Structure 1
Amino acid sequence: MTKVLVTGGAGFIGSNIVDKLIDEKYYVVVIDNLSTGKIENINKAAVFYGCDITDIERLKIIFRTEEPDYVIHHAAQISVQNSVSNPSNDARNNILGTLNLLECCREFGVKKIIYASSAAVYGDPEYLPIDERYSVNPLSPYGISKHTPEHYMEMYAELYGLNYTVLRYSNAYGPRQDPLGEGGVVAIFTNNLLLGKPLVIYGDGKQTRDFIYVEDIAKANIIALSKGDREIFNISTSSQTSVNELSEILNEINQSVIKPVYLPERHGDIKDSYLSNEKALNQLGWKPEFSLYKGLELTLRYYSLLYDSAEKSYA
C-alpha cells in the first residue's frame, strides 16, 4: 500500500487532504504539533505523530519508522501579522522546517514532495489573472517564507533527484477553517452569520478575491502525487468575487439579511487578485468542481451542524 506522510494533517487544508487520501485507500501518516491544528480533525484511520517540523531528530525517527513513499507538506506558520511581528519565528517554521523535511526526504528515499505554497508570493498584481510566469514580489515575511522553499525544492531536485510539485493556492475556504485568529473571510463571515453578528468589511467591499473550495484543493494534491513533476501550479477558480458579493451570497444561502458594517480600508490590503488555473488544467488535468455557491452552501451547512451540536452539548 502506498504510504503518504502529511505534515499539518490536523489543520484545515491538511485534514481534508488526509480524508481524501484515506478514501482513496492510501496509508496515511500525519505529523502536526497541534499549535493551530485540532486532534479531532485527524481521521481515525491515519497514524498520528505529535511533532514539530523544526525538530529534525524527531522527524528522522518518524521517517525511519514509517518510510513514506510521498510527503504532502502543509505544516506552516500562516499568520501574516505574526510574520511581521516575529519574522524569525516565521522563517524558522516555514523555511527551516521545510528544509528539515527536504533533508528527511533525501535521506530516506521519498519519491516526491508536494509543497503547499500561496498566492501571497505574488504580492500586488500588475496584471490579472496572475499566472505562474508572474514575477514574484511578496509584501510580507510570510510571502517570503512561503516562496523561499520553492527554490530549495528546485535545488534538491537538481542535486539529489528529489521530485516535487509546488501548488500555490488562492483564497481557500471550507469545513474546518478556523474563523478566529487568521481565519479567512468566508470562515469569519459564516461564524458571524450563525451568531447573528454583523459582517465587518474593511474598505468599500469592492475588492475581489479568488475563492477555492478545500475539497478541490485536496483533489489537486492527490493528482500531483503522479503528475506535474518539478512544476509550479496555481490552484484556483480563475474568477473574481467581491467581498460585497460574498456577503450577499452567504446571506442568501442562510436566508438572512445581516447587513455589512464598513470600516476603514486596512493598510497593505490588495485591491484585486485572482489566479489563472490554465496550467493546472492543461498539465494536471485538474479543474475546480465546486461552484462558489455550492462550496459556500456546504461550508455553511458544516458550521450550522457544528454549532447545533455544541449548543446541545451545553444544554
Structure 2
Amino acid sequence: MQKKLITLQNITIIGGSGLLGRNLIKNLHKWNVTNLDKQPLNKDYQNKNYQEILGDASDEAILDQALKDADVVWIKAAKLANERHLDSAKDEYRKINTDLPKKILKKCTELNIKRIFFDSSDAVFLNTWEKNKHLPFSEHSPKDYYGKSKSEAEQAIKKWACEHKERSVQVFRYTRVASKGSLRLLSLWCIQNQLNIPLKVFGDGKRSGCMIHIEDCINANLKALQLQPNFDVYNLTLHPITLSELAKKVIMLKNKNGKFTYVKDTFSHPTDPMIHAMDPGKTWEKLSYKPRKTLNDIITEAHIFVEKELEKKIPTILKGISSLNIIKKIIRILIIKNLKKQGIEI
C-alpha cells in the first residue's frame, strides 16, 4: 500500500532568529519554514523543511521573495525595549515595530495571504495592574516608545483582519520570557545567592512583575496554529510577584542561608507601574492549554544554568581542593572578577 503524501503548508517568519523565533522554528516539524532575518539561525534550531533568507524585511524585493509562497506569515521582527525611553530611538521604534508590520500587511493583501500572527508585548499596558487588569481586549495604556510602537501595530493589524471575514489574525503578547539565563535580574540574583552574597533588591521590594517560560510560549504558539479566528489576542503570563517575594524564592530554592538587602532603585523608570502585569483572561481556555512551568520551575532552571556557568570559570586545580575554606574564598574572588569583566556588578 502506498503512503498518502501530505502536502505541508508554508509559513514565513519575519525575524525568526531571536529567542521566541528560533524555539518556534525548532518545533515546526509539519511546516515548510522560511525565515527572513538579518542574522542566520543556529543549525541546532533548523529542521529539514527549513530555508533561510538573510536580509532586511524593509527591502521590498527581499520581502517579496520571502512571502511569495506563504500560506501563513508570522511577524516577529522588532526593536526590543532596551532603549524604550530614549528620544533618539523614537524613529527606529516606529520604523521597525509599526511601519514594517504595516508594510507586511500591504504585501499580504497583494499576495492574498490571509493568515497572520503577530508578536507583541505587555508594554502596551503601563498603567498599574490595580487600576486596569489588562485583559486581552482591554484598552491600551503605553507610556514609552516601545509600547506605543507595538500598540499602533496591533491596531493596524486588527483593522486589517476586520476588513475581510476570511482573514485570520492572532496576536501574542508576552511578558518576561524565561529561558535558562535569559532574565538578567533573575540570573544575577542566582549568582549572588550561590556565591553567598546578599541579593540586591531595588527600592522597597514592592514592585511586581510577571514571567512565562519559553516552553509554554512555544506550546501556546503551536496550539494557535491549529486555530483560525478572524481576530484574537492572547496574553501569555503567569501571576505577578513582588521583587521581595521573588528574592525569597531564589534563596529558598538553592542556598537557604542566603540573604537579601534593599538598595536604591536605579533600575526602574518613573513611568513604570508598581505592578507591571497582564491578565490572561480566557487565553489558556481558548488555546486549550495551561502553562506547565511554574515560577519555582523557572527559578530552579536559572539556578542550574548559573551553577554550570560558574563552574566553567573555576580552574580545575582549585575544584579538586575546594573543600578548604581558603580555596573557596579564592574561587569566589575569581568568579567575581570574571563577572565584572563581563560588566556584571554583583
TM-score (norm 2): 0.76
> What is the aligned partner in structure 2 of residue 149 from structure 1?
153
CA distance in 1, matches of 2:36, 2:188: 27
Whether 1:268 and 2:271 are equivalent positions in the alignment is yes
Alignment partner of 1:79 out of 75, 78, 81: 81
> What is the aligned partner in structure 2 of residue 21 from structure 1?
28
- Contact 1:74/1:116 (CA < 8 Å) preserved in 2? yes
> Which residues in structure 2 correspond to 1:1-315 (within 5 Å)?
1-22=8-29, 25-34=30-39, 39-40=41-42, 43-45=45-47, 46-64=50-68, 67-82=69-84, 84-85=86-87, 86-125=89-128, 126-127=130-131, 129-159=133-163, 161-175=166-180, 177=182, 179=184, 185-190=185-190, 199-227=199-227, 229=229, 230-237=231-238, 239-255=239-255, 257=258, 259-260=260-261, 262-264=263-265, 266=268, 267-305=270-308
Larger mean Cα displacement after TM superposition, 125-134 or 263-272:
125-134
Deviations 1:245-274, CA, capped at 9 Å, x for gaps: 222222333437263451236322210133
CA distance in 1, matches of 2:303, 2:45: 21
The DSSP-based 3-state class of the residue aligned with 1:278 is coil
CA distance in 2, matches of 1:241, 1:178: 15
The code of the aligned residue for 2:286 comes to Q
The DSSP-based 3-state class of the residue aligned with 1:137 is coil
TM-score (norm 1): 0.82
Alignment CA distance shift 1:221-1:309 (3 Å) = farther
- Contact 2:209/2:277 (CA < 8 Å) preserved in 1? yes
Per-residue deviation, 1:187: 4.6
The code of the aligned residue for 1:98 comes to P
Larger radius of gyration: 2
CA distance in 1, matches of 2:57, 2:311: 35
Structure 1 residues not aligned, in runs of 5+ = 180-184
RMSD value, Cα: 3.0
Larger mean Cα displacement after TM superposition, 262-271 or 140-149:
262-271
Per-residue deviation, 1:198: 6.1
CA distance in 2, matches of 1:84, 1:217: 29
Per-residue deviation, 1:144: 0.8
- Contact 2:84/2:145 (CA < 8 Å) preserved in 1? no
The code of the aligned residue for 2:294 comes to S
CA distance in 2, matches of 1:299, 1:156: 40
Count of residue pairs the alignment pairs up: 301
CA distance in 1, matches of 2:75, 2:181: 18
- Contact 1:72/1:115 (CA < 8 Å) preserved in 2? yes
> What is the aligned partner in structure 1 of residue 338 from structure 2?
none
Per-residue deviation, 1:103: 2.7
CA distance in 2, matches of 1:176, 1:26: 29
